[in-house]
Amino acid sequence: MSSRVNDSGPTRLTLLRFLERARLRDRERTRWWITEEEQREAEHRRGIVERPAPPDRLLKQGLNAGQPARHVHAGDCWNAGKRSESIDQEQARRALAGGVKAYPRCRPDSALLVLD
């Protein structure tokens, strides 16, 4: 059996060049991730700045079509729900005067000075 000295595998220089290429790819990928994250953060900040102000008041409709309105909410109420529509101050006063209840948690009637 003859043993060859040069068949011992890749040289140290070949391995170092492979390592260098791998590190360059990792650096490029990391820079791409950083760029993507910077864009996401910029979009998030832009969304916060450009978010429209909440309406002053909301009128929450009944569960089924044709049911009367259930509550008047403050525009920023956490529990207004999807069945709510934006109304102005005068519409809110008329709704409250017409028998629609003010939501007890956000109390839009207090801000309108329409109290029971």
Which residue in the block uniquely carries the two structure tokens 């005068």? 90
The model's pLDDT over 55-75, given as tens digits with 9 standing for 90+, comes to 888 888 877 767 778 888 888
For residue 5, how many other CB atoms are within 10 A of its CB?
A: 5
| Residue 3 within a domain | no
Q: Which helix (H) or strand (E) holds 41?
A: helix 12-50
Range of the domain at 87: 57-112
Q: Looking at the structure, do residues 32 and 62 belong to the same domain, yes or no?
A: no
| Residue 5 within a domain | no
Residue 86 pairs in a beta bridge with 58
Q: Looking at the structure, do residues 61 and 45 belong to the same domain, yes or no?
A: no
| Residue 72 within a domain | yes
Q: Give the distance from CA 102 to its chain's centroid.
A: 28
Q: Looking at the structure, do residues 106 and 81 belong to the same domain, yes or no?
A: yes
Residue 101 pairs in a beta bridge with 71
Q: How many domains does the chain have?
A: 2
- Per the confidence metrics, is the pTM higher than 0.85? no
Residue 105 reports pLDDT greater than 50 = yes
